[in-house]
A = this chain, B = another copy of it.
Amino acid sequence: MTDFKKILREAKLKVTPARLATLAALSKSSRPMTAEEIHVKVGKSGIDPVTIYRTLASFEAHTLVKRVDLHRDAVHFELADPHHHHIVCTSCGAMEDFDVCDVEAIGKKILRHSSNFKTIQEHSLELFGLCKKCMK
């Protein structure tokens, strides 16, 4: 079982029910989630949606979660680890993960040519296409 408490402590964040529940929700989900989806999953009663937003902001600042723009609905979040990306159907939202990612290499090349940037913290990479069903 993943030790969410340990994750929080290592991030120097206080261990609270809302944070544990948020980590659990994200961990159990196979897809990136919106704040609202997380709120529903942790039990609509109990934890205020505002807390979810603040929790996610805090997690993002501590690189526990990653913001994902799927070009649909609100912003989605997912656990930063393990690193992966998505291919999304622009029509129905179907999604697959992939972990092929040469961005590290690209990043290094960019940094070499950039006069203003010296480090890369993270990156986004999503593919958008049509799934089988929506192709016809």
Q: How large is the interface on A (under 10, 10 to 19, 20 to 34, 35 or more residues)?
A: 35 or more
Let me know if A132 and B103 touch, CB within 8 A. no
Q: Which of B69, B87, B101, B103 is the one whose CB lies under 8 Å from A117?
A: B87
Let me know if B114 and A96 touch, CB within 8 A. yes
Q: Which of B87, B114, B125, B130 is the one whose CB lies under 8 Å from A87?
A: B114
Query: What 1/0 flags go to A110-136 for Cβ under 8 Å of B?
Result: 100111111111111111111110010
Shortest beta-carbon distance, A8 to chain B, in Å? 22
Shortest beta-carbon distance, A118 to chain B, in Å? 6
Shortest beta-carbon distance, A30 to chain B, in Å? 14
Residues of B within 8 Å of A71, CB to CB, are: 67, 124
Let me know if B96 and A100 touch, CB within 8 A. no
User: Is A33 an interface position by the 8 A CB rule?
Assistant: no
With contacts A119-B130, A130-B119 taken as known, whether A110 is within 8 angstroms of B100 at the C-beta atoms is: yes
Residues of B within 8 Å of A10, CB to CB, are: none
Let me know if B102 and A117 touch, CB within 8 A. no
A53-B115 Cα distance, complex, nearest whole Å: 35
Q: What are the 9 tightest A-B residue pairs by CB atom distance, in nearest-first order?
A: A69-B69, A120-B129, A123-B127, A125-B125, A116-B131, A124-B126, A122-B128, A119-B129, A98-B110
User: Is A13 an interface position by the 8 A CB rule?
Assistant: no
Let me know if A87 and B135 touch, CB within 8 A. no
